[in-house]
Amino acid sequence: MSETRADARTPLDRTPQWAALAKHRSELGETHLRELFAADPERGRTHTLQVGDLHVDYAKHLVTDETLELLRDLAAATGVAELRDAMFRGEKINITEGRAVLHTALRAPRDAVIEVDGVNVVPEVHAVLDKMAAFADRVRSGEWKGHTGKPIRTVVNIGIGGSDLGPAMAYEVLRPYTKRDLDVRFVSNVDGADLHEAVRDLDPAETLFIVASKTFTTIETITNAVSARSWLLDGLGAGTEAVAKHFVALSTNAQGVQDFGIDTANMFEFWDWVGGRYSYDSAIGLSLMIAIGPDAFREMLDGFHLVDEHFRTAPPEQNVPLLLGLLGVWYGAFFDAQAHAVLPYSHYLSKFTAYLQQLDMESNGKSVTRDGTPVGWQTGPVVWGTPGTNGQHAYYQLLHQGTKVIPADFIGFAKPVADLLPGLVAQHDLLLANFFAQTQALAFGKTPEEVAAEGVPAELVPHKTFKGNHPTTTILAAELTPSVLGQLVALYEHKVFVQGAVWNIDSFDQWGVELGKVLAKRIEPVLLTGEGGEQLDSSTAELVARYRSLRGR
């Protein structure tokens, strides 16, 4: 394991910077956002930052200038900048897997130089992007033909986790930029219903499967890919020679791809220094590139790169990922916030929060530090949320009047998408009125006096009072373009990085997913044969027995 400064440091909660923050927190007490705004009429103007096209308003946070200074001190003391620089340099900061963490190289310009083990990886990155672009163009133009000579009308991406959520999310976000007569579908669940619903109305002769798996060993993906191959060959009445025209693979594992029966000429490669949840701007984005075209894909990568450069070079006071990361640390440590809501006011971002769940929770859902010592502080929050207006009529009640502290990000866009039906454009003001109203209500609430002044009977006043003081960040951009999507994702990637660095955890491994996989492998034969059930705990054994009986076994 490579040594980094973080391995040897004082436990976070015993640093003087932590103690200073704890003291400051108790001095802040119940200070209300109403007071902070009253004390500084300029707060709404001064507490904003800009990165690329993203205007970030953090005025409605429970922080003073002193809070922010103390948080930046904490970042300095915990070596956030040093770890960031080590990441950008290609050092093996994923210490438990001995790997570099270089998703930033995936969006570097062609002439950049980024070395891993002394080799510049940028030419390889661009060689794969070029190969993807050539292939995407052939599929989009109809030049790529299926086994029977028909062009492709539907692309089905088979993958799970990072090999699904990124392209599936981005395809939704960028729908207005897609070639509308080419359908892209995503299959991830090992529940056969997922593949069934994806292919039931398709003509195999016009279908292209993309098997996306970094390891090419993931049981869900390989199982679905085998089933898809049978569906294709049965449907075409063809032999395995048809596979070459209907299957391509995205992987780091050439041998696994070959063993599956996909020609490695039809494989798009990436590298072990790309984490699954950081991979949709690698070959894993092929389905997206086919949908939106190589130029829009490049625009998206440039958006990522812009925020990478901002994170790498902006001073701490102006560094947006640093700020957002530190705010999360503040609420987790000193307000006992367990959750973080991401609430987009754009229908196209409907899968954005689900994508962020893997990015954030698989990265920072850890409870030991980089040297294996149990942490004595909160790490990653529960990340959740759906498009805002729908949430308003479902769970916002809890945000407004519940007992929990749930910081929230509100994301909105000034312009509706370009190809919206003209009759629908007027709805955009109503959408954005809700967007602005909610953060206002969450921050300032409604006092009992204000409620009573409306003539509300005394017994109802407590029910109609809004305490307010709920912290939110507002991210506003002019419109949701490929570049803006890249900027948003990179912003969250680096926010997660900052938090992992402060908490001194390895944000780049995911050992917590292993145990369930191992146990499932052990249980599957018991479901089939009934043998070995006695080795299970009594609850699981009973459930398995009931399952077998319900299945008539």
Q: How far is the CB of 81 from ligand F6P (least distance, A)?
A: 27
CA of residue 386 relative to chain centroid, distance: 13
Please return the burial class of 325, using the count of CB atoms within 10 Å of its CB with bins 0-12, 13-18 and 19+.
buried
Number of residues that bind ligand F6P (CB under 6 A): 14
Q: How far is the CB of 291 from ligand F6P (least distance, A)?
A: 20
Q: Pick the catalytic residue: 3, 30, 393, 459?
A: 393
CB atoms under 10 Å from CB of 130, counted, come to: 12
Active site residue 115: no
Q: Pick the catalytic residue: 310, 362, 366, 470?
A: 362
Residue 161 or 387: which CB sits closer to ligand F6P? 161
Active site residue 415: no
Q: From residue 362 to residue 391, what is the string marking binding to ligand F6P with x (rule CB under 6 A)?
A: x-----------------------------
3-state DSSP call for residue 145? strand
Residue 177 or 508: which CB sits closer to ligand F6P? 508
Q: How far is the CB of 504 from ligand F6P (least distance, A)?
A: 21
Sheet holding 154-158, edge to edge: 183-187, 154-158, 207-212, 247-251, 267-269
Report the alpha-carbon distance of residue 230 to residue 235 in Å, rounded.
8
Q: Which member of 84, 229, 277, 495 binds ligand F6P (CB under 6 A)?
A: 277
Residue 163 or 378: which CB sits closer to ligand F6P? 163
CA of residue 251 relative to chain centroid, distance: 20
- Residues whose CB falls within 8 Å of the CB of residue 348, separated by 6 or more in sequence, listed in order: 172, 173, 174, 175, 176, 417, 480
Which sign does the torsion angle of CA 435, 436, 438, 439 carry? positive
Q: From residue 308 to residue 347, what is the string marking binding to ligand F6P with x (rule CB under 6 A)?
A: ----------------------------------------
Report the alpha-carbon distance of residue 155 to residue 184 in Å, rounded.
5
Q: By CB under 6 A, tell whether 473 contacts ligand F6P.
A: no
Residue nearest to ligand F6P (CB): 276
Report the alpha-carbon distance of residue 92 to residue 99 in Å, rounded.
5
Bridge partner residues of 157 (DSSP): 186, 210
Q: How far is the CB of 117 from ligand F6P (least distance, A)?
A: 22
H-helix or E-strand containing 504? none
3-state DSSP call for residue 417? coil
| Residue 492 DSSP symbol | H
| Residue 274 DSSP symbol | S
Q: How far is the CB of 447 from ligand F6P (least distance, A)?
A: 47
Q: From residue 210 to residue 229, what is the string marking binding to ligand F6P with x (rule CB under 6 A)?
A: ---xxx--x--x--------
Q: Which of residues 386-425 bind ligand F6P (CB under 6 A)?
A: none
Residue 160 or 301: which CB sits closer to ligand F6P? 160
Report the alpha-carbon distance of residue 523 to residue 516 in Å, rounded.
10
Q: How far apart are the first and last CA of the chain?
A: 49
Residue 161 or 416: which CB sits closer to ligand F6P? 161
Residue 276 or 412: which CB sits closer to ligand F6P? 276
3-state DSSP call for residue 450? helix
Give which of 29, 13, 214, 182 is closest to 103, Cα–Cα.
214
Residue 216 or 384: which CB sits closer to ligand F6P? 216
The answer to whether the beta carbons of residues 173 and 349 sit under 8 Å apart is yes
Q: How far is the CB of 27 from ligand F6P (least distance, A)?
A: 42
Question: Where does 335-395 have alpha helices with state H?
Answer: 352-357, 363-364, 388-392
Q: Pick the catalytic residue: 196, 415, 517, 521?
A: 517
Q: Which of residues 74-133 bind ligand F6P (CB under 6 A)?
A: none
Active site residue 362: yes
The answer to whether the beta carbons of residues 155 and 139 sit under 8 Å apart is yes
Q: Which of residues 148-177 bind ligand F6P (CB under 6 A)?
A: 160-163
Residue 379 or 469: which CB sits closer to ligand F6P? 379
Q: Give the binding range for ligand F6P (CB under 6 A) out of 48-56, 145-153, 209-217, 287-295.
A: 209-217
Residue 214 or 246: which CB sits closer to ligand F6P? 214
Sheet holding 48-51, edge to edge: 48-51, 54-57, 472-477, 408-413, 339-344, 382-384
With tokens 């997206």, the residue in question is: 288
Q: Give the binding range for ligand F6P (CB under 6 A) out of 32-40, 207-215, 224-232, 417-425.
A: 207-215
Report the alpha-carbon distance of residue 246 to residue 233 in Å, rounded.
10
Beta strands in 345-388 (DSSP E): 382-384
Q: Which of residues 485-514 bind ligand F6P (CB under 6 A)?
A: 510, 513
Q: How many residues in the chain?
A: 553
Residue 257 or 475: which CB sits closer to ligand F6P? 257
Active site residues per annotation: 362, 393, 517
Q: Interface with ligand F6P by CB under 6 A: which residues?
A: 160-163, 213-215, 218, 221, 276-277, 362, 510, 513
